[in-house]
Amino acid sequence: MAANRRLTREAVREAIAAGARLVVLPELSTSGYVFESPAEARECAEPASGPSLQGWAEEAARGDAVVVGGFCELGEDGLLYNSAAVVDATGVLGVYRKIHLWDREKLFFEPGHACAPVLATRAGRIGVAVCYDLFFPELIRGLALGGAELIALPANLPRFPQPEERPIEITLAMATAHLNHLFFALCDRCGPERGVEWVGATVICDEHGWPLAGPPAGNGPALVVADCDLSRARDKALSERNDVLGDRRPELYVPDEPTHVA
């Protein structure tokens, strides 16, 4: 835990020194991901008021920045959550508890029971989700409808066999940004952990879905930086007569009766 606090704090410091006003860290960056037991996960947990997030806030104060990072949260109810915090120089602005748990996460964490948030920060209107949430377009569209200009997604993406093209998670990030006409910042783990290899799919996409930076070469620690004019995400026009949100017809998206085709 002490080493992770040092690494994440140094990463935030490096990013702010490079001019970043919004810094995104990976999922569960304070604890690691591959727990052997619920007891080990609990040993790695801390409340939102704990030293890890306090350290991020202290670093954020160096550059009037905002930090979004994943941490193993010990809730006030005594349960563990896979959470992402949004922090600035004033402290913790908000905590999102991941609602879609992946595989063995269900052995350690309680799923969140609140909607993913959109927070008005000094860096812009930031929507927050975590890793597997990316696979649920309803959640991401909800953030877009909530006014998000950028979605920050801390992630730990395990590597699976796939063709030697860009990782599918990069494609998902690009498509998500394009379909919702907003910026997208995905921060993934790199390297191995207890036999699990991480994709290292860190990428920043513009509001059209095109990568501005990332993924980094190789699979080691890296700082990925891009200039993003988040005000451009407020314009949802696709053409003179089309709007990505205004053209929605949600009343027609769910059939009244299941349709079976022989």
Would you list the domain boundaries of the chain?
2-252
The answer to pTM > 0.85 is yes
Of 59, 72, 105, 131, which is the active-site residue? 131
Is-catalytic flag, 106? no
2-252 has CATH 3.60.110.10 classification:
yes
Taking alpha carbons only, the member of 119, 190, 184, 194 closest to residue 157 is: 190
Please give the chain's pLDDT, 262 residues, in tens. Answer: 999 999 999 999 999 999 999 999 999 999 999 999 999 999 999 999 999 999 999 999 999 999 999 999 999 999 999 999 999 999 999 999 999 999 999 999 999 999 999 999 999 999 999 999 999 999 999 999 999 999 999 999 998 877 767 889 999 999 999 999 999 999 999 989 999 999 999 999 999 999 999 998 887 889 999 999 999 999 999 999 999 999 999 999 988 776 666 6
Residue 178, pLDDT score: 97
Which pLDDT tens digit goes with each residue over 220-253? 889 999 999 999 999 999 999 999 999 999 999 9
Is-catalytic flag, 236? no
Q: Ramachandran region of residue 147, left (φ > 0), alpha (ψ -120 to 50) or beta?
A: left
Angle at 8 between CA 13 and CA 188, to 5 degrees: 110
Of 27, 105, 149, 207, which is the active-site residue? 27
Query: In terms of residues, how long is the chain?
Result: 262
Which pLDDT tens digit goes with each residue over 35-72? 999 999 999 999 999 999 999 999 999 999 999 999 99
Distances (CA, A) of 189 to 32, 137, 148, 193, 245: 10, 22, 24, 10, 32
Residue 182 tokens, joined: 């907003």
Residue 219, pLDDT score: 76
Is-catalytic flag, 27? yes
% pLDDT > 90, the chain? 89
Q: What's the rounded Cα separation, in Å, for the pair 4 and 43?
A: 14
Taking alpha carbons only, the member of 143, 141, 98, 91 closest to residue 117 is: 143
Whether residue 215 has a cis bond before it, omega within 30° of 0: yes
Residue 179, pLDDT score: 97
Of 46, 72, 98, 190, which is the active-site residue? 98
